Amino acid sequence: MVTDANVQPEVDTQEDDSLGKFLSDSGKISESDVQRIRHFAREKGLSFGEAAVSLHLVERADVDRALALQSDHSPVAEGRGDMSPELVAVHSPDTPKVEALRTLRVQLMLGSLAPTANTLAIVSPSSGDGRSYLAANLAIVFSQLGERTLLVDAHLQNPRLHEMFGVQIAPGLSSGLVGRSSGVLKTVSIPQLSNLWLVPAGAQPPNADDLLARNTLIKVCSVLKSQYDVVLFDTPPGEGSTGADWIAHRCGKALVVVRQDNSNFAATKSFLARIKSRAEVVGCVLNKC
Are the CB atoms for 11 and 41 separated by under 8 Å?
A: yes
The CA-based diameter of the chain, rounded to the nearest angstrom, is: 82
Are the CB atoms for 127 and 237 separated by under 8 Å?
A: yes
pLDDT of 161 > 90? The answer is yes
What structural domains and CATH numbers belong to the chain?
13-70 (no CATH), 88-287 (3.40.50.300)
pLDDT of 78 > 80? The answer is no
Q: How confident is the model at residue 21, as a pLDDT?
A: 80
More confident residue, 255 or 19: 255
Q: How far apart are CA 69 and CA 112, in angstroms?
A: 23
Task: For residues 193-217, give the mean pLDDT.
Answer: 92
pLDDT of 201 > 80? The answer is yes
Of the pLDDT bands very low, low, confident and very high (cuts 50, 70, 90), residue 111 is confident
- The predicted model scores a pTM of 0.74
pLDDT of 12 > 80? The answer is no
Side-chain half-sphere CA neighbours of 164 within 13 A: 26
Average pLDDT, the chain: 85
